[in-house]
Chains A and B, each alone.
Chain A
Amino acid sequence: MGLTNKSLNESTINHDLSIDKNNNEIVISLAGNPNVGKSSIFNILTGMNQHTGNWPGKTVGNTIGSYNYKNKKFTIVDIPGTYSILANSNEELIARDFICFSNADIHLVVVDATNIERNLNLLLQILEITNNVILCINLIDEAKKKKIEINVNKLKNILNIPIVMVSAKKNIGINKLKDIIYNYKNNNDSFKIDYGNVLNNEIIKIENYLNSNYKFKINSRFLALRLLENDNNIYKSLNKYLKYNFRNDKDLQAIIYESRNIIETNNIKTYTIRMYIVSKIINLSKDIYNNTITSEYNIEKNKDRIIDNVLTSKITGIPIMIMMLMIIFWLTIAGSNYPSDLLTNLFQIIGNKLYDIFNLLHIPNVITSFLLSGIYKTVTWIIAVMLPPMAIFFPLCTILEDLGLLPRIAFNLDNVFKKCGSHGKQSLTMCMGLGCNACGVIGSRIIESKKDRYLSIITNNFVPCNGRFPTLISIITMFLITGFNNKNISSIISTLILTGIILLGIIMTLLVTKLLSKTLFKNEKTYFILELPPYRKPNIIKILIRSIFDRTIFVLSRAIKIAIPAGALIWFMSNIYINNNNILYHLTTLFDPIGHFFGLDGTIFVAFLLGFPANEIVIPLIIMSYTNTTTLTEISNLATLKTLFVNNGWTITTAICTMLFCLFHFPCGTTMSTIKKETKSNKITLISFLIPTIIGLLLCFLARIIINTII
C-alpha cells in the first residue's frame, strides 16, 4: 500500500528488454500466478524489501533485484503475476514479452503448492516458449497442513525440468533453490503439448517456414501457435523487439491463411483456435495434476468459508469493514499522541541547545535564523507529527493486506461501485490511496477496463493519504474535541470524526465516479472477476520491520526532502522586505480576500499552494507564516499551537473549511506526475486537478455560509 523507492524505479530494464549484465552474470525472470508468494521469494533471494500483500495484482510492472551466491552474481526480474501469458491483458503482455524477448537465462516459475492444478497452466505456457525453466513450488508448509502430497519425482519426469520445494515464509528450501539456480545448465529438451493431429500438422508447416527463413531464439512452435490464432500482439511485439514485420511476409501469410482454412474444414472454427489451445493446456494440467498430486484438502469445508460468511454477510459485512477502518484510525490517533508530544519536546530542547551553540560560535543571526527557524523547525515538525502515525498506520494496513481482507472489501463493494458506473476493484485502489495517492494511481493498473481505471485514477485523491492525516488529526484535536478531559474519550471522538471525514471522501468518490461515468466516458463493457485468496496469518515481526524501515522511512524522507527547500523558501519569503513588509506578508495579504471567501485565510491558501510538492508541509508552512519572527517560537504542544492559530483569526469555521480543503484539493506533485505517466493524457491529468479543487472550494464556501448562519 505504500510507495517505495523500488516501486517507483522501473527504469532499470532497457527498452529492448535486455538487462545490462556482465559475462558471468545470470539473469533470472520470476514468473507465476498472482498471490503465490513471488514477491516473498524475490525478497528472500535478494534481501530487498519489495512490498508483499495477500491479494492478486500486487506487483505491477517489473522489479529488479540481485544477489551474490558463491562469487557469482544473479539478477532477478520480478515480472507481474498473471494466470496466463496469452496476452489477454496488459500485465500478461508485459510478462510474455519479457519471457520471449528478454535476455534472461533462467525462468523461475513459482507455483502455489496448495493450488498446483490451476498453476500448472501458466507453467505449461511458459514451457512452450522456453526450455530453461526451474519450477519452484512455494507454500509447502501450507500444503502439508492441508494434507496435499506432491510426488516430486513423477512431476520431474513428466516436465523434465528441475523442481525445488520451498516455503519463503518459513525459510525452507531457499539454499537448495540457490544451489539449483547456481548449477543450472541449459536444457535442450523442449516440452511439446499435443494439440491433436490437425493442429500439430499445421504447426509444423508454419514452424518449418519460420526456421528456414528467420533466425531467432524464440521457440518456433510457440510462435507458430500464436500466428495460427492470429494474435495481433505477437505481431506488434515481434516488430517492436526484433524489427520483424511478419504481416508483410506474403509467403508466411499465405501459409497461415491456408492452415487456418484447413483447421476450419476440420470443424475447429478459426476464432475458437485460442480457446481450443487453452482447453488443451488446461486439460493437460489436469492430467498432470491427477497423476502427481494426492490431496485430502477440501476447500469447501475449509474454515475460511466461515470467515467469508461473516465478512461478506448482508448484516455484518459492511459494518465490520467500517469497524476495522475505525480501529486502525483509533490505534493510530491514540497511539501516536504520546510519542508525538515526546518528539516535539525533544526537538524543542535540541533546537534551543543548537540556538545557544550558534550564539556561542558567533554565527551571524541571519544564518542561525535561516537554519533553525527556517529549515530545522519545518523538518522537525514533520518528523514529530508524521512519524508516529505512519509507524502505526502502515503496519496495521499491511496486516489487513496480508490477512487477505482487501479482496473481500472489493467483493462486498462491487455492487455499489457498479451502480456508480465503475468497478469493485476501485475500493482496492482507494485503500492504497490511504497510504499514498500516487500508489493508488499506479495500483489502478489492476483494473482491466480503461474507463474504470481512469475513474479510479481521477477520484483517488478523495481518499486522504498519509501525508494529509496528521493535518486532519491535529485540526480535529485542536478545534473539534475541546472540553474532554479524558484522553481515551477524546481519542475515540477524534476517530469518529476522522472516520466521518473518510466516509465523506468515499461518498464524494462515488458521486464523482457516477457523474463522470455518465458524462465524460462512453459506456464500456466491463466485468468483475476477482480471486478471493485464502486467509493467511501475517508475520507480524516481518511486517513491522518492513513497514517501518521501508515505507515509513521512504515516505518520511520524501517529505523531508521537500520540507528543506520549502522551509528555506518560506524563510526567504518572510525575511526579504519590500515596502517595510516581507514577501510572505504581501503574498498572504493578496490571497486573504480569496481565502476568507472560502472560509480560510490568505496564509492557509498560500500554504496549500506551496504545499503542492507534498501535503505534509501545509501545517508547518502555516505555523511559520503565523509566527513569522526571526527567533524560534516555542510550540511545544497542540495547546500552544491552538493559541497561535486563534490569535491569527482561526474559528471553528476556519478549522472545518481547512479540513474540507485538505480533503478536497488538487493532488500533490508526485500524484499529478504519476497520473500523467499512467494515463499519458493531459486531459485526464487536468481533470484530476480541477475536479477536487472545484469541489473543495465549493464545499468550503458552503460550509462557511452554513456554519456562520448557525452560529
Chain B
Amino acid sequence: MRTLDLLSLNESSYIKEINTDNNLKNRLFDLGFITNQKITCICNSPAKNPRAYIVMNSVIALRNEDAKKIIIEGDKDGTY
C-alpha cells in the first residue's frame, strides 16, 4: 500500500482508495479513477509536479499533492 505520488515513472499499479475532497473525487471518478482501475505513470513535467498518468486509455495530469491522497496497491508489473 502506498500513494500514487510514489509510483515511479513507467510503473503500473491499481487504484484502491481516493481520499481527496469530494469535489476532486467526483472529477476523478468521471475520468475513470475508480477502485481496481489500472494506473500507469507515464510522464513527468519539468518540475516533476504535476505528473501524467494513464487511466482508462487517457492521459491525465495530476499534481503530486493530490496524487498523495490516492492509495494504490499492486506490484511493479501491475499484477497482484
Contacts and interface: CB of A to CB of B under 8 A. Distances in A.
Interface of A: 83-84, 86, 88-89, 114-115, 117-118, 121, 271, 274-275, 278-279, 282-283, 297, 299-300, 304-305, 308-309, 312-314, 317-318, 407, 411-412, 414-416, 418, 424, 525, 527-533
B7 interface: no
A449 B64 CA distance: 18
Nearest to B59: A532
A121 to B, nearest CB: 7
7 contacts: A88-B26, A115-B58, A117-B56, A121-B30, A279-B29, A318-B46, A528-B63
B20 to A, nearest CB: 8
Interface string B9-50: 010000000001111111111111011000010111111111
For the residues of B in contact with A, the DSSP-based class is: mixed
A529 B61 contact: yes
A411 B47 CA distance: 10
In the complex, the 10 A-B pairs of residues with the closest C-beta atoms, listed nearest first: A415-B47, A83-B30, A84-B30, A532-B59, A118-B56, A314-B46, A88-B26, A278-B29, A317-B46, A530-B61
A409 to B, nearest CB: 10
B52 interface: yes
Contacts of A318: 46
B49 to A, nearest CB: 6
A361 to B, nearest CB: 66
Contacts of A531: 31, 58-61
A415 B50 contact: yes
Given A86-B26, A531-B31, A415 B49 contact: yes
A55 to B, nearest CB: 12
A271 to B, nearest CB: 8
Contacts of A529: 24, 27-28, 31, 60-62, 66
Most buried by B among A114, A412, A529: A529
A278 B22 CA distance: 13
Contacts of B32: 117-118, 121, 282
Given A88-B27, A299-B57, A527-B66, A414 B50 contact: yes
Given A115-B58, A318-B46, 4 more contacts: A88-B23, A117-B56, A283-B34, A529-B24
B46 A313 contact: yes
A153 to B, nearest CB: 23
A411 B56 CA distance: 19
Contact of A308 (B22, B24, B52, B65): B52
